[in-house]
Structure 1
Amino acid sequence: MRGRCRTARGPRGGAWSALSSTAVRLGAVAVLLGATAAVGPGAAAAATEASGTPAPYAFTDGARSIEGARSTAEAPPLEPGTAYRSSLPSRGKVSYSLRLDATSNAYVSVTAVPSPGSTVSVIDGLKVSVQDAQGNSCSDDTVSFGAARSPHPIAAWGRREISPTKPLCRSAGAYYVTVERADPEGEGSSPDAWDLELLAMTEPRTAKAAATGAPGAWNSATPQPLQGGTERRRGGAGFTGATPLDQGVWRDYIRPGQTLFYAVPADWGQQLAVTADLGSIPSGGTGYTPGALDLALYNPARGHTAGVSVGYDGEQASGSLPPLPPVDHANRNAAVAQVSAMRFAGSYYLVAHLADSVADTFGDGPFAMTLRVRVSGEPRGGPGYAGESVPEGAFEVSDQDREAAAEGVPVTGGDTAMRVLAVGGIGTGSALLVGLGVWTVLARRRGVA
């Protein structure tokens, strides 16, 4: 502070110029941070909710554009840890490539985003497959839209796993990710292309030999839904902007055709249980929408894990995810897919979608939705990885993750300033006031000096 006073006593023009320049820079930073917060994924969801037109999906900021190839010979490479944006035609396959080592597990998640207003059939959906250079199948996964036939973001994943019990797909070299629609004939579905978001991740080997047997016994009884007072949390519009939740009863509002994203940190040894309630409407109703509310759970690699579909007749309705095992590295050896998917610690994503057909019978809403999230069990040590995942920290729960879940603020790469802005709800206008305030204070200091 003394140094600043001595500077102020110097030549008037130089001191005022320095102070003005500093104020401009600080004001610009405040404006930039405010604008960034205002246009982030959560803000996009809020803006569309205010306008009454839900955003179909908020893609990762800075995602690279890439075009899938019709032949694996021309498949463009995917870099683990980098988000990509692409598209899928109504007919045919598109392929991408991965260069993998002989020790890491690799996962590729593909999120499909049909255009609002398009149609999808009951059996339509997304299929993702992984093959090695010899054409051996490493994995395949298919996810559909559900009985309501409501277009919304869905994700399927591909896997290359290193395991003594799986002799194929263990070599280093080229691997190919193939993406196609689950209903290639497209009966009952619009012929338009779907937008895609792709994310590849790698999981390092364990320092010690991992267990190859099935996981041990676990409590598979359906727990009672968590009770207590509700707290408001606004869902995000994509995986990257998913709103963190910890254990509690959370209230949000959802419109027909809208999809909301939440992230629940679950550490090694912890068990998730989730119930979704859809509130009644004052006027009641005379119709019925099957599969009106779709709640899906995705693991930290964005792999589909479990789901529940809730019908709606205008009165309150409720549905719970099937019982899930505690998070355990050994779960990957299970034959049941939803047990196998609970294979690593990290953020598990809850994705809630309200069918667009709900508006035909019950109006545009918004409709009150309650998520009852239970996280039971004490965290315990993990498998002891011999290296880092890509992206770093993807398969762990940090103190920052727990703090974010308690506050309901997404972690943005450890940027404390952004989190403070998000907590305070500072938008572009407030940021401008902050910048002007800094300028005023510096000007007053100049006058005193």
Structure 2
Amino acid sequence: MVTRHNYRLRGRAGALSAVLCVTAAALGAAAPGAWAAGEPRPYRTAEDAKKVTGTSSSADAPKVAPGLFTDRIEPGEEKYYALDLDASSDVHITATGIPDPGTRITFRDGLKVTLQNTDGDRCDQGTTKGSGDTAFPLSAHAARLMGDPAGETCRTKGPYLVHVVREEGDNSDPSSWPLELSVMEEPGLKGAVPAPRPGAEEETDDNNTRPAVPSSAARTRKGGTGFNDARALGDGVWKDRLRPGETRYFRVPVDWGQRLYARVEVPNSARQDDTGSTFLPHGFRMNVYNPARSPLYNEDFRSYDGDGAEFDRYSNPVRYENRFLDLDTVSGTRFAGWYYVAVTVGPDMVKPFPDGTPVTLRIAVKGHPRPAPSYDGDAAAAGFGVDGQDREMAEKGLTEAQADDNATLRTFGWVGVGAGTALLLVLAAWLLLARRSAKAQLPAQVPVQMPAQAPVPPAAQPWDRPQR
């Protein structure tokens, strides 16, 4: 079963392995995925993702299931994967293509993912495109929603197909891309599916009145390379420094009824009058993704002219019934959980910021948490919900792996306390038994007769002395 927090419990290593890893780190072992200084860090796929090889024909497509899978895809190539579905759950599939940082991708490059039944009927389709002649991870999403009135042909139990196509344009990146496939299964509801709320489509980013921008002291939080190692953030002001062409990911817990405000800022650069124009058409980019890794917006790069720049987004309130609305910006906010904020800086930003581009993120989660819908199953365990541990992770700025390590160490701590207590009890019992055994083996005590002493003669008197 898929577990919460981006499959929090999926394929966890044993406690002993975790301790060995911690020990290796303490001894100075190199961290996995280490990258040369000054170069943009590439996206890190999940360490426990299963490797599959999609096929060009649906006839012999490899099976996938709730979890994470990795493959590779060439320009213009298409891949098929087989998926068995029940007749009650919603399913969410996201394909993420990963070009090398620093390569050139255009608005013609992209990914398309389609979920279809074996008769060829399309259940859903999602596409994503490049932007700014700059490489960054491209995520496309498709879903099977049981309450969707337009999806009657995809409600039955049985085999389905996931079809992924890498679209290419002129002068596209010729290299093979790593491909990460995320499959999440969301339980159905008990009872009727709620109808969309009137006016929900008017609560979009364009119509929202922005909340007060967080203004606390900025704290440093280094973002992750992708969804799997995204750094948790809570309300506040956070800063990081990105290498040219790099993308960094952060995640924020957003509960039912809440909405996410995210703002990225790039400061002004030092004046260099002899370098000509400082205008860069492809300066930086920010996008927001929901817990199923589906992008909420189709974002372009923002220009930068040296005087500083900022960009923000304010999501719709998270409601189950949003999923049946037409706008992606609204339908994407259809479940609670970890929402992701990805920031990319263009390669040309090395000109104003040769030591890396400093960025500031201002994050605010607005609204009071609402009760979760009446799921017929544990939606939070499947990754669709927020709990106290999530908020603690956001407060401490933990990645998923760090949270798992902390949980393992806490478990070992309690095991150690318990083992120590048990050992003391065993030692006390052993000592008590040893004393009793020794006492039982002693011979019966016999009274010891002291030897009779000779009578002591009386002291001589003066008159008893012999006379001379």
TM over 0.5, yes or no? Answer: yes
Q: For 2:146 and 2:88, how far apart are their aligned partners in 1?
A: 6
Call closer, same or farther: CA 1:108–1:38 in 2, change over 3 Å: farther
Instruction: State how far apart, in whole Å, the 1-side matches of 2:149 and 2:193 are.
Output: 11
1:357 to 348, 360, 369: 348
Q: Give the CA RMSD over aligned residues.
A: 2.6
Q: Does 1:312 align with 2:312?
A: no
The 5 Å alignment of 1:27-426 reads 30-32=22-24, 34=26, 39=31, 44=33, 47-48=34-35, 51-81=37-67, 83-146=68-131, 148-163=132-147, 165-166=149-150, 167-183=152-168, 186-214=169-197, 216-217=199-200, 218=203, 220-284=208-272, 286-306=277-297, 307=299, 309-321=301-313, 323-359=314-350, 361-362=351-352, 364-389=354-379, 392-412=381-401, 415=404, 417=406
Q: CA deviation at 1:182?
A: 3.4
CA distance in 1, matches of 2:355, 2:329: 33
- 96-105 vs 155-164, which deviates more? 155-164
**TM-score, structure 1 length as denominator?**
0.80
Higher relative contact order (CA 8 A, sep 6+): 1
How far apart are residue 213 of structure 1 and its match? 2.9
Cα deviation, 1:244-298, whole Å, max 9, x if unaligned, reads 0011111111111111010000000001111110122224572322232111111
SS in 1 for 2:285: strand
Question: Structure 1, residues 47-72: CA drift from partner, whole Å, max 9, x if none?
Answer: 53x71112220111122211111011
The one-letter code matched in structure 2 to 1:162 is: M
Q: Does the C-alpha gap of structure 1 residues 26 and 319 become closer, same or farther in structure 2, counting only changes over 3 Å?
A: closer
Q: Helix, strand or coil: the match of 1:401?
A: helix
TM-score by length of 2: 0.77
Do the aligned partners of residues 200 and 164 (structure 1) sit closer, same or farther apart at CA in structure 2, a change above 3 Å counting?
A: closer
Q: Is the 8 A contact 1:215 1:334 kept in 2?
A: no
Task: Please give the per-residue CA displacement for 1:360-412, whole angstroms capped at 9, x wherever unaligned.
Answer: x43533111011111110101011211134x9240000111100000001234
Distance (Å, rounded) in 2 between the aligned partners of 1:129 and 1:26? 38
Query: CA separation in 2, counterparts of 1:164 and 1:363?
Result: 48
Q: Distance in 2 between matches of 1:372 and 1:304?
A: 19
Separation of aligned partners in 1, 2:392 and 2:94: 26
Between the aligned partners of 2:263 and 2:21, the Cα distance in structure 1 is 42
The 1:164/1:178 distance shift into structure 2, 3 A limit, reads: closer
Task: Give the fraction of aligned pairs with identical amino acids, expressed as a percent.
Answer: 32
**Amino acid aligned to 1:68:** G
Distance in 2, matches of 1:76 and 1:413, equals 32
State whether residues 230 and 250 of structure 1, in contact with CA within 8 Å, keep that contact through their aligned partners in structure 2: yes
Tell me the CA shift for residue 181 of structure 1.
2.3
- For the residue of structure 2 that corresponds to 1:98, the secondary structure is strand
Amino acid at match of 1:193: S
The residue identity in structure 2 corresponding to 1:410 is T
Letter of the aligned partner of 2:105 in structure 1?
A: V
Alpha-carbon spacing, 1:100–1:356, altered in 2? closer, same or farther (3 Å): same
Number of aligned residues:
385
* Corresponding residue SS for 2:296: strand
Question: Quick one: distance in 2 between partners of 1:349 and 1:415?
Answer: 19
Superposed displacement of residue 220, structure 1: 2.4
Aligned partners of 1:319 and 1:408: how far apart in 2?
23
Residues 412, 418 of structure 1: 8 Å contact kept:
no
Once the two structures are TM-superposed, the CA of residue 242 in structure 1 deviates from its matched residue by: 0.5
Unaligned runs of 5+ in 2: 1-15, 411-468
In the superposition, relative to structure 1, how do residues 264 and 27 fare at CA in structure 2: closer, same or farther (>3 Å)?
Answer: closer
Shift of residue 171, structure 1, vs aligned partner:
0.9
Work out whether residues 18 and 408 of structure 2, in 8 Å CA contact, stay in contact via their aligned partners in 1: no
SS in structure 1 of the partner of residue 63 of structure 2: coil
Distance 2:257 2:77 in 1: 42
Matched position secondary structure for 1:357: helix
1:342 and 1:95 map into 2 onto residues whose CA distance is 28
Work out the CA distance in 1 between the residues paired with 2:271 and 2:174: 37
Partner-residue secondary structure (3-state), 2:185:
strand
C-alpha separation between the residues in 2 aligned to 1:333 and 1:26?
Answer: 42
The CA deviation string for residues 216-254 of structure 1, in whole angstroms up to 9 with x for no partner, is 444722334322321111101121110000111111111
Q: d(CA) in 2 for partners of 1:145 and 1:220?
A: 27
Q: Distance in 1 between the 2:269 and 2:243 partners?
A: 13
SS in 2 for 1:373: strand
What secondary structure does 2:261 align onto?
strand
